[in-house]
A = this chain, B = another copy of it.
């Protein structure tokens, strides 16, 4: 895919302007697919040309006009078709992992700092996911069909952050242990 299907999903959930989408890609859906507003506007134009979305200019008072995009029938068909195609294997690409591997050739103190920073970023996102879950899915054992996708993605994010924290802890344990021994 690319960003197109992420936009289709977001618009299927609720119509939005490019600006609204940019904010969504900064928060919720953006936790697993980032996109800048420039990219979003460009792709929306292309998608409208393909007939996947349709726009309507909405006037507002005290604010600039906005172009609200809605998914079309053709867009829904494309989205359904896309879900029916197998997802190509995705491999992680982690600069952090490369840096950990570079430990014997680098600056251990700086790397330890980096691990701390990463750990706290994981903690922040974990807290965000937990709050999000509590707010949007107070009864996870009674989800309806429309909610299940969002809930499961949140769960995935949660598990990933927890694993990330566990990894940071292992790294710090190793690195600070060897430090203590050296002295």
Known A86-B113, A110-B84; contact A100-B152, beta-carbon cutoff 8 A: yes
Q: Across the two chains, which residue of chain B brings its CB closest to A107? A: B84
A29 to B101, CA, bound (A): 9
> Is the beta-carbon distance between B31 and A91 smaller than 8 angstroms?
yes
Q: Which range holds the interface residue count of chain A?
A: 35 or more
Interfacial chain B residues near A170, Cβ < 8 Å? 152, 155, 159
Q: Across the two chains, which residue of chain B brings its CB closest to A2? A: B95
* Identical copies of this chain, number: 2
Kindly identify which residue among B104, B146, B150 contacts A148, using a CB–CB cutoff of 8 Å: B104
> Is the beta-carbon distance between A117 and B148 smaller than 8 angstroms?
no
**Least distance between A122 CB and chain B CB atoms (Å):** 11
Interfacial chain B residues near A178, Cβ < 8 Å? 145, 148
Interfacial chain B residues near A33, Cβ < 8 Å? 93-95, 97-98
> Is the beta-carbon distance between A32 and B104 smaller than 8 angstroms?
no
Q: Mark A119-151, 1 if CB is under 8 A from B, else 0.
A: 001000000000000000000000001101110
> Is the beta-carbon distance between A156 and B167 smaller than 8 angstroms?
yes
Residues of chain A in range 163-177 having any CB-CB distance to chain B below 8 Å? 163, 166-167, 170-171, 174-175
CB of A51 within 8 Å of the partner chain: no
CB of A23 within 8 Å of the partner chain: no
A145 to B149, CA, bound (A): 44
> Is the beta-carbon distance between B99 and A83 smaller than 8 angstroms?
yes
Question: Nearest 6 pairs between A and B by C-beta?
Answer: A83-B106, A163-B163, A103-B149, A32-B97, A84-B110, A84-B107
